[in-house]
Amino acid sequence: MDIQVSPELSLNHLRALKVLGKGATGTVFLVHHLISDPSATSPFALKVVEKSPLLDSKIDTDRRARWELSLLHRLNNSPSPFLPSLLGSFETNDLIGWAIPYCPGGDLNVLRYNQSDHIFSPAVIRFYIGEIICALETLHALGIVYRDLKPENILIQQSGHLTLTDFDLSRTLIKSTRHLDVVYEPEPIKHKNSKKTKNARVAPVSRRKLSLTSNGERANSFVGTEEYISPEVVRGDGHEFAVDWWALGVLAFEMLYGTTPFRGKNKKDTFRRIVMMQPEFIGRQSTLTDLIGKLLEKEPTRRLGYRRGACEIKEHPFFHGLRWDLLTELSRPPFLPSKVLPGLKERKNVDIREYFEKLRMPPLSLDSPAREECLYNVSLTEF
């Protein structure tokens, strides 16, 4: 579906048909353009972020929104069939929003739960993991580490192919003269004087301080989703692109067995397992379990993909016979969404401004449980 949207959007020309999901930093609506598409035949997704109040510097949602928007602009210059294209954006005194294509197939987690045993076959895993590798390869070539790979951030396009979404935790890394060392590139964002469906299985955690050193040190910020966080992030050793290959191993394990490999009784137990335990494979070993084991190597310098990135992973025996250059042309996706867009059946004509006005409440105190996932820090000194 070819969607034509003006790069400069006006909120007055957009009508929301329904809320698709709400995340930590923004709300995603299914919308259509009242002028170019009055009958809503080609709706698109609109992510809208409410700017942080001036006194609430802890949340700083507008900074994160501007970062994600700038990254999407960069992706438009290096398009990939497995990454979203930016259709347009807008900004008001209170809101920042941007439009991307709508993915009617939902996310990979929902698709897995719709399978009879809540797992995928190795052939399906090969197809989807292959597309994710191509998406990460594009990001890494641009110097971008994704840092939030999980099923909820992998969407099914109308074509049945995958696309990654939610880039607010992604960062640009600058390689130093030494192979190991990278540092976060300071975000090209200056403040202005202004103010998904949440999944209970996992919750993002983030340390507040970013490592922005100038001597080639690896990044030390603590970000990601508990069950997908790599050992080097948990230990605070600094990290780079290999964290995405670790998360790919966790994802492949979950697709194969229906659960993540290091899930514990609580956060602390999960982090202990990530650092100390090896993944347990059930049944006959295969090229897939070998791939997962190599991606879940605790030491990042020995992890598959560390030396030569995606090229190294593509050469693994699990992918033998896969035509990487023809993934979108000849390969038939395992699942095709209905051509009838579900949002049009359930349209509620949500007023976006009114939606955020109703959400506005006095700022929560730092002790509020509602902020726990944003402020949570972990220490492994006793492990």
- Choose, from 56, 94, 117, 148, the residue flagged as catalytic: 148
Between 136-145, 245-254, 311-320, 321-330, the lowest mean confidence (pLDDT) is in: 321-330
pLDDT band at 205 (very low <50, low <70, confident <90, very high): very low
Q: Note the pTM of the prediction, 2 decimals.
A: 0.81
Beta bridge pairs of residue 172: 144
Using one digit for the tens of pLDDT, what is the confidence trace for 163-180? 999 998 999 987 543 343
pLDDT at position 130 over 70: yes
Give residue 179's pLDDT.
Answer: 40
pLDDT at position 376 over 90: no
Using one digit for the tens of pLDDT, what is the confidence trace for 208-240? 333 333 333 344 444 557 999 999 999 998 889
For residue 172 the two structure tokens come to 């640009």
| CA 257/CA 274 separation, integer angstroms | 17
| CA 13/CA 32 separation, integer angstroms | 9
Share of the chain above pLDDT 90, in %: 61
pLDDT band at 59 (very low <50, low <70, confident <90, very high): low
148 is catalytic: yes
Give residue 62's pLDDT.
Answer: 81
3-class SS at 7?
coil
The tally of CA atoms less than 13 A away on the side-chain side of residue 111 is: 28
Give residue 43's pLDDT.
Answer: 93
As a three-state string, the secondary structure of 148-184 is: CCCHHHEEECCCCCEEECCCCCCEEEEECCCCCCEEE
Using one digit for the tens of pLDDT, what is the confidence trace for 285-317? 999 999 999 999 999 999 999 999 999 999 999
56-60: Cβ within 8 A, 24+ apart: 56/363, 58/208, 58/366, 58/371, 58/374, 58/375, 59/374
Using one digit for the tens of pLDDT, what is the confidence trace for 35-48? 999 988 899 999 99
pLDDT at position 72 over 90: yes
| CA 49/CA 352 separation, integer angstroms | 11
pLDDT at position 330 over 60: yes
Give the domains, in start order, of the chain with CATH numbers: 11-102+340-375 (3.30.200.20), 108-326 (1.10.510.10)
